[in-house]
């Protein structure tokens, strides 16, 4: 409901213009440096075979639907017999087939997505290391206060300044008798 309300604010011509502008910007700027730094992943023959099989279901389903339509038109008795057989399959078996297929193809997709994310992170770490970002200064180093190029100011940040209140307290504690006695 909210998406429909959001999309209704943009006429189709404006949405197409925005999409075209985004496409031109993406083409002009190219890929981010971290993505360009990704090396090609060597893939085994098994992975290539499974990836090829993963690409088959949608085209085969579309071709199968066209073939069923043609079969229904050419041989209606044959088509009716096949459909009666499918109608007699228990519903639980349909759910099981769907679950197995979903888990198989979903797991492959997840594995590829995680591998891609690992490659992106490795490239980002390599890019960050290449830029040589200086380490953050420790709290007790002169650079923590960022005094600039003045060495006297930098060194004075390490020496504690006299604290009059602390000195008065110390004198008072030394002059008063001990409470433990």
For 146-176, what is each residue's pLDDT tens digit? 555 666 666 666 667 777 888 888 888 777 7
Give the least confident one: 24-28, 33-37, 60-64. Answer: 33-37
Residue 91 pLDDT:
92
Q: Provide the pLDDT confidence category of residue 72 given band limits of 50, 70 and 90.
A: very high
Residue 113 pLDDT:
87
Between 4 and 123, where is the model more confident? 123
* Percentage of the chain exceeding pLDDT 90: 18
Range list of H helices, the chain: 2-8, 12-29, 33-36, 45-54, 57-74, 76-87, 91-130, 151-156, 164-175
Please classify residue 105 by burial: count the beta carbons closer than 10 Å to its beta carbon, then call 0-12 exposed, 13-18 middle and 19+ buried.
Answer: middle
pTM for this one? 0.35
Residue 32 pLDDT:
66
- What's the gap between Cα 120 and its chain centre? 9
| Cα separations in angstroms, 178 against 42, 171, 181 | 78, 13, 6
Classify residue 1 by its DSSP letter. Answer: -
């Amino acid at each position: 409901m909210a998406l429909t309300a959001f999309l209704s604010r943009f006429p189709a011509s404006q949405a197409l213009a925005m999409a075209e502008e985004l496409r031109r910007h993406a083409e002009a700027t190219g890929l981010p440096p971290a993505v360009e730094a990704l090396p090609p992943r060597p893939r085994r023959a098994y992975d290539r075979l499974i990836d090829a099989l993963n690409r088959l279901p949608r085209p085969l389903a579309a071709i199968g639907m066209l073939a069923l339509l043609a079969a229904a038109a050419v041989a209606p008795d044959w088509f009716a017999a096949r459909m009666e057989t499918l109608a007699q399959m228990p519903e639980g078996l349909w759910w099981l087939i769907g679950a197995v297929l979903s888990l198989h193809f979903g797991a492959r997709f997840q594995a590829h997505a995680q591998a891609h994310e690992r490659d992106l992170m490795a490239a980002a770490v390599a890019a960050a290391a290449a830029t040589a970002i200086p380490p953050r200064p420790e709290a007790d180093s002169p650079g923590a206060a960022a005094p600039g190029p003045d060495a006297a100011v930098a060194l004075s940040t390490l020496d504690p300044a006299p604290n009059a209140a602390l000195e008065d307290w110390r004198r008072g504690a030394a002059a008063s008798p001990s409470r433990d006695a």
